[in-house]
Amino acid sequence: MFRKINLNILFAALTMALGVSACKKDNGGYTNNASAPIVINSFTPTEGATGTEVLINGSNFSSDTAQIQVTINGVPLKVAGAKENQIMAYLTQKTGTGPVVVTIGKNTGASTTDFKYLFSYVVTTLAGSGNAGFADGKGANASFNFAGVRCQLSVDNIGNVYVPDGGNQRIRKIAPDGTVTTIAGTGENGYNEGPASGAKFNNPCATAMDANGNMYVAERNGRRIRKITPDGNVSTHAYSSGNGGNELTSIAINKTTGAVYWSDFYGDGIYTLKNGTVTKVINYSLPCTITIDGAGNIYATHYDAQTVRKYVYNASSDAFDNGADIAGMDHQSGWVDGIGTVARFNNPWGIAMDNKSNLYVTGLGEGRNSNCVRMITPDVWNVTTIAGAGDSGYAEGTGSSVRFNGPTGIAVDKNGNMYILDMANNRVRKITVE
């Protein structure tokens, strides 16, 4: 008759055995044979988050932990103990998914299967008091007035966030420590060029930065794309009294060609400036927010169609195809995670891409059961909800315990952290990836 063994007791005993073995290096401990391969047969568990203990089973390891390096995706794990056929290691932050690799000296072995890293997404407030108003300051001492204007924000390479403050008719900057300053705008609705401190805007609702540090601003009602140079001079990049200038909702910049694209919500398309003329390059109904990848392909949320679409760019002809839905089903609303057209959205609005080609989509909110952040993995277009729930509110934390109220804008920094313009909460939230 078999005895049931408590797994925790077994695990503790094994950990102790590894620790004792590791300490016996000078008294007969095992040394790796450099002329023989390192073999990894298995590891347990097969998935986990930061701090998870991973037991690696194999052969030709070593009892000298100082000689052992364990990595996943090139990210080192902390080795706690080892002997000839087992290693105990702990996951560190942002390890990622991939094979387990053991290196001892010049000898390396890798698992034939991947360890699945479970990221956690921690939501905090970067800046904003929660009350509509205007005040520069740090964190909760600052105030914004998004005034129901669905806005797209952006972030630079050192973590400064650029926020279009539509209700205050200003462009604001949030430093990594949460300090908010005003970089352009008098606070008056209107049109004026020149030095940033004297410039006037008409409901700015999107920002984007080019490779040279120039900022472009879309005016929701001003029919203009404005440009702010690094030395603080404001000018007009593009203007249209017709389509291409109806209701400008977002901007994306091809960092290779320098081309500036923007979405015109009621102009039913995506536009750019060609030979000094505002030109429609993508024709599709009600584009909300756009982002662009390294190849120049554009991804767009479509409010009415309830989909996320990809438009493939042909560099030789400087043109886009007609696009295809990569997530969601045409004119079918809902909140369903899944792959491609199995997924459902309730009026998707914000969109951004990280440096691993993952897309992040935020909902419009406004009572539409879409106050959440969704992730879409590349190629297979698997949609998952990473923060928030359908209902509105304000709460920090992780997963479904988080609450937003109109998270219409999103940007991703070089480390994969996200910044959310939480419109009805008049706050800018930060999602730290761990």
Phi, then psi, of 207 in degrees rounded to 5: -130, 150
Q: Which of 397, 404, 411 is nearest to 427 (CA)?
A: 404
**Cα separation, 61 vs 45, whole angstroms:** 19
* pTM of the complete model: 0.87
The reported pLDDT for the residue numbered 7 is 37
Q: Are 208 and 201 in contact (CB under 8 A)?
A: no
List pLDDT tens digits, range 109-153: 999 999 999 999 999 999 999 999 999 999 999 999 999 889 999
pLDDT exceeds cutoff 60 at 169:
yes
The reported pLDDT for the residue numbered 5 is 35
- Bridge partners (DSSP) of residue 433 are 121
Question: How large is the average pLDDT for residues 213-228?
Answer: 97
pLDDT category of residue 28 using cuts at 50, 70 and 90 = low
Query: Quick one: CA dihedral 244, 250, 256, 258, positive or negative?
Result: positive
Domains, the chain, with CATH or none: 39-117 (2.60.40.10), 123-433 (2.120.10.30)
Q: pLDDT exceeding 90 applies to what percent of the chain?
A: 90
Phi, then psi, of 65 in degrees rounded to 5: -65, -25
List pLDDT tens digits, range 397-408: 999 999 999 999
pLDDT category of residue 73 using cuts at 50, 70 and 90 = very high
pLDDT exceeds cutoff 90 at 16:
no
pLDDT exceeds cutoff 60 at 13:
no
List pLDDT tens digits, range 200-214: 999 999 999 999 999
How deeply is 245 buried, as exposed, middle or buried, from its count of CB atoms within 10 A (0-12, 13-18, 19+)?
A: buried
The reported pLDDT for the residue numbered 81 is 96
The reported pLDDT for the residue numbered 390 is 86
Q: Are 397 and 337 in contact (CB under 8 A)?
A: no
